[in-house]
Chains A and B, each alone.
Chain A
C-alpha cells in the first residue's frame, strides 16, 4: 500500500542551534490513526510542522506522493489539515462561519460554494447553530470543534491534531473522541493523553531526543516507556 505520508531521515535545527529532529523516519497509511507520544521537547510538534511545510529541514518529506517543497505547498496544504493546540490561534475571523470558510476562499472556491461547504462542516462537528457567533464567545470545547470544522471543510486526506484534548473538560474530551472517530481521514494525533490515544489510535510512535525511539501498538508503547499515569491516593502524614 502506498503511504499517504512518508518521511525519510528528517533533521531540523532551530535558529538558536537547538537540534530538534535528528533523523526521523515515518510512514502513515490510508485509514490509519497514529499517536505521537513522547516527552515535552522531544520533537513531536516540530515534526508535524514539517508535514505541511511550515518548517523545512533536511531529508525527504512526501505527502500523497508529492515532495513538500515551495512549488507544491498550496497542494500539500489542501491535503494536510492541521488543528493547532490553542484554538484561539486558529480562530481569528470575526464570525464562526467566516473562520470555517477562510481556507476554502484561500484555495479559490467561490463564495456560494465556500458558504455551503463551511455550513456542512459545521454540521459535521455539531456547531451549525453557532455560524454567526464570534469565536471568542465560544467555550474551549466549542472552539476546538470550530477549529476542526475549519480543517474538515477543506476535505484534506490527512488530519493532524496537536494536543487536541488540552484545556478540555472530561465531557469535552469524550465528545471530541466521538467526533474524531467519525472523521474518515487518516490522522496523526500529537498527545500526552493516553486514554485519548488508546480510544482512537491503532499505532503509536514514541519520540525521544528528536528521533522515533520506538513504534508499535499504543498499549505496548505505553507499557514499555511507562508512559501511563494512574494517580494513587497518597497517605496523609498523620495517617
Chain B
C-alpha cells in the first residue's frame, strides 16, 4: 500500500529528512502560494519548479521515478476539470490546472516522504493547525488500512457466495446488497472507534494527547526555509522576465 512505502521513505537519513518539519512546511507553503498565483509563462515556471523538486528528491535520496509516478495519482482528478475547461474553449486554463495540481502534489509528496508522520503532525501543530484536525488525520492514517482490509474481506466473502467478484466490480450485483455492505462497513468502523476509545480510556486518556518528542528549530532549518523560498520566488521572477 502507498502509505507503507511513504512510511519507509520518511524514515530515511538524508539532510532533508533531518530538517525540522516546520522548515519544510514553510517552504512548501511558499511554493504553493507562488505556484497558485502564477499566470504568465507558466510552462517555463513549471519546468523550473519541476527541476527544483527533482533536485530535492535527489538530495533526499528517494527514487526519482517512483516519486514522479506517485505524484501523478492526482492527475485523474484534475484531468476532469481540465477537460471541462478545454471543452469550454479555454485549453490554456486546462493545461495550467494540470501543471499546477501535479507540481503541488509532487511538492507535498516530497515533504511527506521526508518527514515521519509523528514529526509532521507535531510540526503542523506547532505551526498552528488545530489539534483536532491533526488527530483526525493521525487516526485516519493509522486505521485506513485496517478498514480497507475489512472491506477486502467483506468483498471476498460476498464474492464467495455470489460466485464472482467481477459481478460486484461491474456493478451487476444488486445495488441494495452493495449498499448493505457499505452500511456494515460503516457500523464496523464505528464499533472499532468505540473499542479504540475504550482502550485509550483504560490507559488514563483524558482528552489530551501528550507528545514524546519535541522538534527543535535550528539556524540550519531557518536557512533551508529561506533558501528554498527564495529559490521558488526567484524562479518565478526569472520566468516572468524571460516571457517579456
Q: Within the complex, what minimum Cβ distance (angstroms) separates A204 from chain B?
A: 24
Is B195 on the interface with A (CB-CB < 8 A)?
Answer: yes
Q: Are A92 and B203 in contact (CB under 8 A)?
A: no
Q: Are B212 and A101 in contact (CB under 8 A)?
A: yes
Is A64 on the interface with B (CB-CB < 8 A)?
Answer: no
Interface size classification for chain A: 35 or more
Q: Within the complex, what minimum Cβ distance (angstroms) separates B231 from chain A?
A: 31
Known: A94-B138, A105-B211. 9 other contacts (CB 8 A): A77-B203, A84-B198, A93-B142, A98-B118, A102-B205, A106-B204, A132-B11, A136-B145, A154-B204
Q: Within the complex, what minimum Cβ distance (angstroms) separates A129 from chain B?
A: 15
Is B70 on the interface with A (CB-CB < 8 A)?
Answer: no
The complex places the Cα of A94 from the Cα of B139 at a distance, in Å, of 9
**B interface residues with partner A (beta carbon < 8 Å):** 4, 7, 11, 116-118, 138-139, 141-143, 145-146, 192, 195-196, 198-206, 210-213
The complex places the Cα of A151 from the Cα of B118 at a distance, in Å, of 22
Q: Are A106 and B118 in contact (CB under 8 A)?
A: no
Query: What are 18 pairs between A and B in contact, CB < 8 Å?
Result: A54-B201, A74-B204, A77-B201, A77-B202, A77-B203, A82-B199, A82-B202, A88-B192, A89-B198, A92-B139, A93-B142, A94-B118, A98-B212, A101-B212, A105-B210, A111-B212, A132-B11, A136-B142
Main secondary structure of the interface of B (DSSP, over half): helix
The complex places the Cα of A81 from the Cα of B205 at a distance, in Å, of 13
Q: Which residue of A lies closest to B120 (CB)?
A: A94
Is A107 on the interface with B (CB-CB < 8 A)?
Answer: yes
Given contacts A97-B212, A114-B212, A136-B145, contact A92 B196 (CB under 8 A): yes
Residue of A49, A92, A94, A115 ringed by the most chain B CB atoms within 10 A: A94
Q: Within the complex, what minimum Cβ distance (angstroms) separates B76 from chain A?
A: 27
Q: Which residue of B lies closest to A54 (CB)?
A: B198
Is A13 on the interface with B (CB-CB < 8 A)?
Answer: no
Q: Within the complex, what minimum Cβ distance (angstroms) separates A156 from chain B?
A: 10
The complex places the Cα of A137 from the Cα of B5 at a distance, in Å, of 12
**A interface residues with partner B (beta carbon < 8 Å):** 49, 52, 54, 74, 77-78, 81-82, 84, 86, 88-90, 92-95, 97-98, 101-103, 105-107, 111, 114-115, 132, 134-137, 150-151, 154
Which residues in B have their C-beta under 8 angstroms from that of A97?
212
The complex places the Cα of A141 from the Cα of B143 at a distance, in Å, of 19
Q: Which residue of B lies closest to A52 (CB)?
A: B202
The complex places the Cα of A136 from the Cα of B143 at a distance, in Å, of 9
Residue of A49, A102, A114 ringed by the most chain B CB atoms within 10 A: A102
The residue that A94 contacts in the complex, of B116, B146, B192, B204, with Cβ under 8 A, is B116
The complex places the Cα of A15 from the Cα of B206 at a distance, in Å, of 24
Q: Are A115 and B212 in contact (CB under 8 A)?
A: yes
The complex places the Cα of A43 from the Cα of B135 at a distance, in Å, of 33
Q: Are A89 and B205 in contact (CB under 8 A)?
A: no
The complex places the Cα of A98 from the Cα of B138 at a distance, in Å, of 13
The residue that B195 contacts in the complex, of A89, A101, A132, with Cβ under 8 A, is A89
Which residues in B have their C-beta under 8 angstroms from that of A74?
204, 206
